[in-house]
Amino acid sequence: MPSRNTNHKEALKKLNVLVVDDISAVRNILAQILRGLGVGGRIDKAEDGLEAWERMQTHTYDLVICDIRMPRMSGLELKRLLRSTPRFEELPFLMITGEVSEDIMAGAVESRWDGYLLKPFPSALLEKRLLKLLALDDKL
């Protein structure tokens, strides 16, 4: 019988992820971390929520990792749009932010975040959140 760790690796090999952040270096670092964790599917990047929404019309993703504050369409606005669209309402969504404030936390509750990480974060924590979001965590 394969170990849970083997199952994690197999699941990550097939994972398609959309990374959304207005800072190019953050997008590139996240993509590198994801590859290092074994994500073998498509890793696409978008610089804001509007570009992410446009990509989602033509590509299928298993997970979205998204910054909160961006021009044109914020992560909160994208999350609300996804949750109000039947096709995307169950799509795992990991919010990343460099700040925590009352309005951000209120937005988190309102838009039903699946999880969040405070920047900067270690790759081990990102891996843990990914596995939990994708129901691959041993505790789930």
User: Domains in the chain, start-ordered, CATH in brackets?
Assistant: 4-133 (3.40.50.2300)
What average pLDDT does range 100-119 have in this prediction? 64
Number of residues assigned to the chain:
140
**pLDDT tens digit sequence for 37-92:** 999 999 999 999 999 999 999 999 999 999 988 999 999 899 999 989 999 988 99
**Residue-level pLDDT at 102:** 63
**pLDDT tens digit sequence for 4-50:** 455 777 888 889 999 999 999 999 999 999 999 999 999 999 999 99
What b-and-e string marks burial along 53-81, b requiring 16 or more CB atoms within 10 Å of the CB?
Answer: bebbeeeebbbbbbbbebeebbbbbbbbb
Query: Rounded to 5 degrees, what angle do the CA atoms 69, 75, 79 make?
Result: 160
**Residue scoring higher pLDDT (13 or 140):** 13
Which of helix, strand or coil describes residue 71? coil
Task: Give the model's confidence band at 106: pLDDT under 50 very low, under 70 low, under 90 confident, else very high.
Answer: low
**Residue-level pLDDT at 50:** 97
